Structure 1
Amino acid sequence: MTTRPAYLAVLFAFVVFALPAAAFAQAGSTRLALVIGNQNYKDLPALKNARADADAMKGALTDVGFDVQLIADAEKAGMERALIEFRNKITADSVVLVYYAGHGLQASEENYLVPTDAKVTDALDLPLVALSANQILSQFENTEAGSIIFILDACRDNPFLDKGGKTRSIGNKDSMSRGLARIASKHTGTLIAFSTSPGDVAQDGTGKNSPYTQALTAALRTPGKSIEAIFKETRAKVVETTEGKQIPWENSSLVSDVVLIPEEGGPKVVEASPCDLAAAHPSDPDRVGPSVEYANLDTQVAIPACEAAVKGDPENMRFKTLLARSLDKAGRGDEAYKLNEVAMAAGSLAAYHNMGNLYRKGLGVKKDFAKAFELYQYAAERGHPEDQNNVGYMYFQGQGVKQDYAKARVWLEKAANQNWGASYDKLGLIYLKGLGAKKDMERATDYFQKGSDLGDRSAMVNLANLYKSGTGVKQDLKKAFDTYSRAARLGAVAAYVNLGNLFAQGQGVEKDPVEAAFWFTLASREGHEEAMERLREALSKLSDEEKETVKQRLEDWARSRFG
């Protein structure tokens, strides 16, 4: 049996929505759904809820106007036939939904839907015995479908765990990795909704249906609810039902906020404006459309777009807060302050968050950490996830408030329960260092892992540090290298330095002085003193040809990051 590296993991439930601006809004558009429930497997453990969850989804989708085709306990040939038959029904502007409940696996950053007759003895078997989620999605992207909804409600436990809780070998001796491979949709406007946080398992629950499916099917039937609101409501219900053990998660880039069952006289779809598309805040509860990270906000686009939006709809506080955010980025704090004042008076949590940022930075106002804390706390108490994290962080640092690790932990846990990745990182540090809590390496590692799974680069670095040193975990230099690499792609300077050291010393990767110099150069550009010293040492040992290679690597890096 080959031992080629392959990273295999349980695939947890998630949803991919691809919704163009006119989705669901067009009168008479066809709604088609294929629902697959695989529960009884020949070579893998049977699942408790897969068939019942598929039945429940069929009922909910039928109630909201879908023509539903259901297949159960399908072998590979049956799944392929059903997909082909379903694809051939699609007409121009159809709303297409595929729901899969069953075992799912990830190998080498590819996700697979597992038929009931699949026999998996090696990760290399998967492309032959299972169906690639990316390939299935591409089948529908190449039709004239107006919108695509792809729901994978996959395995709720690891089918390759032995009774002792350790990963059972499947032939190639590789252990399973955590987390999911992302699916990149070619359609404009997507929403990815996980039934649980990346890297965690979904609960079966005690009833006929899993907590996630039970909550989702109820939310789908609620009149007047947009897609965004449906998943927020589902998340809140699942967190309550599972007592925080399962936390659904969404990543939205929808350009329309769609209402499945419009109330009489209510909107069918709320379009994302040019202002929303240019400046929408990731944690704004009133956000419409995809979010824009502060670092990526282009003020030359956002300010005129939001000025036009405010002029066209002066009573819309969302536009005022987005314009204030854009002005903040442009350094125009005085103007941002005035807009935030108006929106705060109307109760906008985004405005409280914006104003807290101004006081924290001293932009347009005198720097005042205590005032920033007060503003953040107002929004945090009303559910704003980033400000729950901000309050926790300020307690953690003693910034604007007396340092209090116990209170920091309370607020960080609230933000973590809304999947704010940075909060998991700070919780990891609390348990790693025993700050106001008993040291707990297992818990610290788990929190760093969750933060890493949610894309927090600091959590990735801290997790990699544990694997590099073997602190609280079995030393694994390869895993440390892979995790530092992820953090480096997100711009973590500490990851640059560590990668340089690993390449210089040949730890977890083949020794390569050119790569070492490349990473030390990136860190040096950020003013990292240790990296500067290491870079001087590394360059002194390189030939002119090798130095030219470093230069080319730096140019390639810049192109890959900035286009």
Structure 2
Amino acid sequence: MQKVQIGVCGFVVALLLAGPTLGQDVNQTVINCDRYAASNNDLATTAGRAGVRFKDLDTEKAKTACEAAYAANPDIARLAFQLARVEVKLGNYERARTLLEEALAKGYTLAAVELGLLYDTGRGVEADLKKALELYQLAADAGWGVAYSNIGDLYRLGLGVEKDEARALELYNQAIAKGNEAALGRKALMLAGAHQEGDDPRPVVSALLEAAIRGEAVGSAELGLAYLNGRFGLPVDPVAASVHLKRGFDAGDNFGGLYFAIIEMARWDGHFERAEQLRRALQSIVDSEDHENRGPALALLGQFGLITGLNRSQVTDLIERAAQLSPDHHIVLNSRANLLVANGDLAGADALLEKAALAQPDWAPYYARRSIIQLRLGNAEKSKELETQANNARDGQYLLQFIGG
């Protein structure tokens, strides 16, 4: 169920304190750039500071600091890299590419990872997976774990190379050995996706737990989904599911945030503070640059508005905006269906839920909601058929108890 885009872990930088020959003012400009633009993937940040995740990068502060540091210290190659990181966040891909090429030419091999990402995703250049792989390999040869992880993504998904999950697993293990925690989530996700009924679930659970214990976003969210749906021999445990989905979301996985919201909405008890916390979490996804999950987050905001008594015109606006962004997403289709039910259009709601179930055929709640609608439409036989499908569906069984007529 989990989806991950290639290369989300592509910003890594080896931060060094300014040399003793630099003056105090220059030292401070370098430290400021390090403070605001150091990657969270860095293993040696200045003065022991944790790096900043790309999604949390404050472009205004980082650009000001890194422009000054770069101008004053043209021989420190990593500053060109850090400034490029800011330019990527701002969408200034041409300048980012120029800065990355400069950093790489000066021997800063980590620039090859971010430069590879530009070719990988076609940002500011024509997409070229062969070129991306060459650049990732250059950084991997220099010992950077994130490069191994990105190459692993290519083999896992069969992008630019023949799909080879065994090779991907090998590369993820190499990345993990180099200290790249994001590879923990990639490994867990791959093992979970390859797991078949009857397979030994222990390798999957072990990988999920290792990722979650280390606070890795994707692995935490995937573990939360496993607890929600009782997968890989784990029990259905909505409390554990909610905790791990929230941890995944807090660590940067917006997909986990969507399913955390779905659980919390289902069991909302009217507590105002919890409602506000949930709205803020969903709004943060809407306000992010995560185009894949913004539409579903808007839809869930609208759906929660129906539950909490938000003005109907505001609810409609949220769900219509969601439909413009992600018209075929199953979460958006479900929220549109709920709005139609509230407006008395049962047939229209049933048609949307049918599309949602086709998009997510293992999700029990969609069949259960259709069963109720069909009963209200007078189609008892169809309602019973859908009820059976709901009871037989693999995922979302816990949520059926909250679905009523």
Q: Report the TM-score, using the length of structure 1 for normalisation.
A: 0.43
Q: For residue 462 of structure 1, report the CA deviation from its aligned partner.
A: 0.8
Matched, 1:354 2:97: no
Query: Are 1:341 and 2:341 counterparts?
Result: no
Alignment equivalent of 2:157, drawn from 379, 393, 397: 397
Instruction: Tell me, yes or no, if the aligned pair for 1:458 and 1:492 is still in contact at 8 Å.
Output: yes
CA–CA distance in 2 between the matches of 1:502 and 1:277?
37
1:498 matched to 2:259: yes
Q: Kindly indicate whether the alpha-carbon contact (under 8 Å) linking 1:497 and 1:531 is maintained by their aligned counterparts in 2.
A: no
**Residue 84 of structure 2 contacts residue 96 of structure 2 at CA under 8 Å; is this kept in 1?**
yes
The answer to whether the aligner puts 1:332 opposite 2:332 as a matched pair is no
* 1:368 is the counterpart of 2:128: yes
Residue 276 of structure 1 pairs with residue 34 of structure 2: yes
The one-letter code of the counterpart of 1:330 is: L
What SS does the corresponding residue of 1:365 show, helix, strand or coil?
A: coil
The structure 2 residue matched to 1:478, chosen from 227, 239, 252, is 239
Deviation of residue 277 (structure 1)? 1.8
Quickly say closer, same or farther: Cα 1:393–1:435, change in 2 above 3 A.
Answer: farther
* Deviation at residue 379 of structure 1 after TM alignment: 0.5
**Structure 1 residues 284, 256: CA separation in 2 closer, same or farther (over 3 Å shift)?**
closer
Q: Specify the alignment match of 1:378 in structure 2.
A: 138
Q: 2:258, 2:296 within 8 Å by CA — same for their partners in 1?
A: no
Q: Which whole-Å CA distance do the structure 2 matches of 1:444 and 1:398 have between them?
A: 21
- How many Å apart are 1:391 and its aligned residue? 1.0
Q: Which has the higher helix share?
A: 2
Distance 1:530 1:346, change over 3 A: closer
Matched residues, number: 281
Backbone CA RMSD of aligned residues? 3.9
Of the three residues 209, 216, 227, the one matched with 1:456 is 216
Q: Following the alignment from structure 1 to structure 2, what is the Cα–Cα distance between the partners of residues 517 and 352?
A: 42
CA–CA distance in 1 between the matches of 2:264 and 2:63? 44
CA displacement at 1:357 relative to structure 2 = 2.1
Q: CA deviation at 1:352?
A: 0.8
What one-letter code is carried by the residue in structure 1 that aligns with 2:57? Answer: L
Structure-1 separation of matches of 2:116 and 2:243 = 36
Instruction: From the superposition, tell whether residues 442 and 361 of structure 1 become closer, same or farther in structure 2 (CA, over 3 Å).
Output: same
Report the Cα offset of residue 314 of structure 1: 2.2
Whole-angstrom CA distance in 2 between matches of 1:522 and 1:462? 19
Residue identity opposite 1:279 in structure 2 = A
Q: Which residue of 1 aligns with 2:250?
A: 489
Question: Aligned equivalents of 1:395 and 1:459: distance in 2?
Answer: 19
CA deviation string 1:493-549 (max 9, x = no partner):
33343334334544xxx75587579748928944444983x665654454469x99x
**CA deviations over 1:288-336 (Å, ceiling 9, x no partner):** 3432222233333333433332333322212222222222223222222
Alignment partners' CA distance in 1, 2:67 and 2:96:
12
Identify which of structures 1 and 2 has the higher relative contact order when contacts are C-alpha pairs closer than 8 Å and 6+ apart.
1
CA distance in 1, matches of 2:31, 2:302: 50
Q: What amino acid sits opposite 1:477 in the alignment?
A: P
Q: Does the 8 Å CA contact 2:33/2:65 hold for their aligned counterparts?
A: yes
Aligned equivalents of 1:341, 1:256: Cα separation in 2: 20
Say whether the 8 Å CA contact 1:372–1:400 is kept in structure 2: no
Give yes or no for contact 1:432–1:440 (8 Å, CA) kept in 2: no
C-alpha displacement at 1:384, in angstroms?
Answer: 0.9
| Structure 1 pair 518–326 and aligned structure 2 pair: CA distance change class (3 A) | closer
Counterpart in 2 of 1:293? Answer: 53
Residue 79 of structure 2 is matched in structure 1 by 319
Q: Is 1:309 the counterpart of 2:69 in the alignment?
A: yes
Residues 527, 338 of structure 1: CA spacing in aligned structure 2 closer, same or farther, 3 A cutoff? closer
The Cα of 1:393 is off from its aligned counterpart by 1.2
How has the CA–CA distance of structure 1 residues 544 and 286 changed in structure 2, closer, same or farther, with 3 Å as cutoff?
A: closer
Unaligned runs of 5+ in 1: 1-254, 549-563
Structure 2, unaligned runs of 5 or more: 1-14, 22-26, 287-292, 315-405
Q: Residues of 2 paired with 1:292 and 1:318: CA distance?
A: 15
Letter in 2 for 1:446: S
Structure 1 contact 381–388 (Cα < 8 Å) conserved: no
Q: Deviations over 1:378-401 (max 9, x none)?
A: 112222121121111121112232
AA partner of residue 475 (structure 1): V
Name the CA distance, whole Å, in 1 between partners of 2:247 and 2:294. 21
Distance of 2:158 and 2:149 partners within structure 1: 14
* Contact 1:376 1:388 (C-alpha < 8 Å) held by counterparts: yes
What pairs with 1:50-199 in structure 2 (closer than 5 Å)? none
Decide whether aligned partners of structure 1 residues 336 and 449 sit closer, same or farther in structure 2, where only a CA change above 3 A counts: same
Instruction: Work out whether residues 143 and 178 of structure 2, in 8 Å CA contact, stay in contact via their aligned partners in 1.
Output: no
CA contact (8 A) 1:421 1:452 kept: no
Question: Contact (CA 8 Å) 1:376, 1:387: kept in 2 or not?
Answer: yes
Distance 1:366 1:536 in 2: 38
Change (3 A) 1:287 1:354: farther
Quick one: distance in 1 between partners of 2:31 and 2:297? 46
**Counterparts of 1:427 and 1:301, CA distance in 2:** 34
Please give the alpha-carbon distance, in whole angstroms, between the structure 2 residues aligned to 1:300 and 1:518. Answer: 27
The partner residue of 1:466 within 226, 247, 253 is 226
Q: Which amino acid counterpart does residue 347 of structure 1 have in structure 2? A: G
**Preserved CA contact (<8 Å) 1:427 1:447:** yes
- SS of match in other structure, 1:303: helix
Using the alignment, how far apart are the partners of 1:400 and 1:536 within structure 2?
A: 40
Which residue matches 1:189?
none
- Can you list the C-alpha shifts for 1:403-440, whole angstroms capped at 9, x where unaligned? 2111111111111223433211221133223379x944
Change (3 A) 1:481 1:323: closer
Asked if structure 2 preserves the Cα contact closer than 8 Å seen for 1:275 and 1:305, the reply is yes
Contact 1:424 1:450 in 2 (8 A): yes
Equivalent-residue separation in structure 1 for 2:276 and 2:71 (angstroms): 52
Q: Aligned partners of 1:374 and 1:355: how far apart in 2?
A: 10
Q: Which letter maps to 1:455?
A: G
For residues 316 and 489 of structure 1, the distance between their equivalents in structure 2, rounded to whole angstroms, comes to 33
> Residues 339 and 500 (structure 1 numbering): CA distance in 2 closer, same or farther, change over 3 Å?
closer
Contact between 1:513 and 1:538, CA under 8 Å: does it hold in 2?
Answer: no
8 Å CA contact 1:500, 1:516 repeated in 2: no
